[in-house]
Amino acid sequence: MASRKMKTAMKLLPMLYDNENVVYLLMKPFDKTLTNHRTICKSIKKVAGKFLCTYEKKGLCLNVYNPDAVEKLLAMKKLSDGTPVEIIMHPTRNYVRRALNVADCCDLSEKEIQRELASQGVVNVRRIMKLTDDGQKEKTTMLVLTFSRSVKTFTPVNIGQLQLRTFPYYPNLQQCFNCWEFRHIKPACPKKVPTCGKCSGPHGSNKDNVCPNPPFCNKCQSGDHPISSHECPKYQTERQITKIRISKGVSHWEAKKEYEKKAQKNTDATVKHLTAQMTTMKEALEKKDREIKILRAIYETMRLEEAKNSHSQQVNGSSSKGSQAEAKTKKEPPAEKDAPKSAEEEQSCGKASDGTTRRKKKGKKGRGK
């Protein structure tokens, strides 16, 4: 309930000021009843003038724009209504960390490099270590430089005669090996029952006690990877939030809000783009459908005309054949059959034919003589 009221109050305090010459303080209440934000604003404004406060997990982050009021606020032990508080320098937001590769001067120690860079705004130097296969820590050529916020631009740093360029430093996410949540470590984990780093079950697992269950991540409800995987979408989201927090020097809550706003904007742009593509595809499909209908109508018309022409040709062919047959029948009437002859007529015809034959033979013989 207190957290909800605090977040509501933070919305009433807009970001009116820039981050130049700002000093970040952290107000930590001695108990969890620090909910009277009017008293907080009245007490801080009386000492520091203009300021801005934002909600953080450990308390209220005070953005003080009057450097002369910092000492007074650090000495404050209670608010105007008598509520006891503790105000300290913010542990991370008053500094900027950058990465530096010192492969060309790796023979120098961290203290020597810090002395060389002290005049350039560097207040601390730390070397990045890596674990070897046998579990031992080994030095690398990468350093983490901590700059004071008075450094506005990060030009290449000079170490002796060398000029080296720095890079933004994004530390690994702080992830608990007990519950696998972010932003705290195992000794500070509030959960007593451990969570398996492979199957997300309510049991611990390590090298000596390997979990036999298939991998499952209860963060994204996926069986493609274990809960400890860095490929988890939740891990990637938290990493992006961390990058925003570090690059812009804001709290985790503000970075998360900005990330969600950006993600929503990207989602809206993606939806708009896909909607436009779907509309274009729909119009193209409708155009194709209209063209197909037109071609189908043309095809049907041509098919009907072809069938009509074929039918008319068949009709004309059959009629011409019929007229030709009728004409032939008229030109050549059928021959009349002879009537059957009687026996007497056949005998007389036979005698006549025999007489004709004898006369022909006699004539041939006379011509021969």
Strand order of the β-sheet with 23-29 is: 51-56, 59-64, 23-29, 85-89
Query: What is the residue-wise DSSP string for 63-88?
Result: EES-GGGHHHHHT--B-TT--BEEEE
Euclidean distance between CA atoms 63 and 24, whole angstroms: 5
CATH classification code of 23-89 = 3.30.70.330
Hey, what are 287's tokens? 């155009």
Q: Are the C-beta atoms of 156 and 166 separated by less than 8 Å?
A: yes
Gap between the terminal Cα atoms of the chain: 166
| Burial (0-12, 13-18, 19+ Cβ within 10 Å), 196 | buried
- Position of tokens 């300290």? 88
Hey, what are 129's tokens? 């270590």
- Residue 234 has what pLDDT? 92
Euclidean distance between CA atoms 122 and 117, whole angstroms: 6
Of all residues in the chain, what percent carry a pLDDT higher than 70? Answer: 78
CATH classification code of 95-168 = 3.30.70.330
- Residue 348 has what pLDDT? 60
Alpha helices in the chain (DSSP H): 2-11, 37-48, 70-74, 110-117, 233-248, 252-331, 343-368
Euclidean distance between CA atoms 129 and 296, whole angstroms: 75
- Position of tokens 């209908």? 293
What is the dihedral sign for C-alpha 16, 8, 86, 84?
positive
Q: Are the C-beta atoms of 53 and 44 separated by less than 8 Å?
A: yes
Equal CATH topology for 23-89 and 95-168: yes
Indicate whether this model's pTM tops 0.75.
Answer: no
Euclidean distance between CA atoms 20 and 22, whole angstroms: 5
Q: Are the C-beta atoms of 142 and 172 separated by less than 8 Å?
A: no
Question: pLDDT, tens digit, for every residue of 273-331?
Answer: 888 889 899 999 999 999 999 999 999 999 888 888 887 877 777 766 666 666 666 55
What is the length of the chain?
Answer: 369
Domain ranges of the chain: 23-89, 95-168, 172-231, 250-309
Q: 249-255: list long-range contacts, CB under 8 Å, 24+ apart.
A: 249/19, 249/93, 249/96, 250/54, 251/54, 251/55, 251/56, 251/61, 251/93, 252/56, 252/57, 252/183, 253/54, 253/55, 253/56, 254/54
Task: Give, in order, the Cα–Cα distances in Å from 268 to each of 187, 260, 262, 271, 279.
Answer: 41, 12, 10, 5, 16
Count of CB atoms within 10 A of residue 113's CB? 21
What is the rounded (10 degree) CA torsion for 209, 214, 219, 225?
100
Ranges of the chain whose pLDDT falls below 70 = 1-20, 30-35, 152-153, 319-369
CA nearest neighbour of 77 among 47, 119, 113, 55: 47
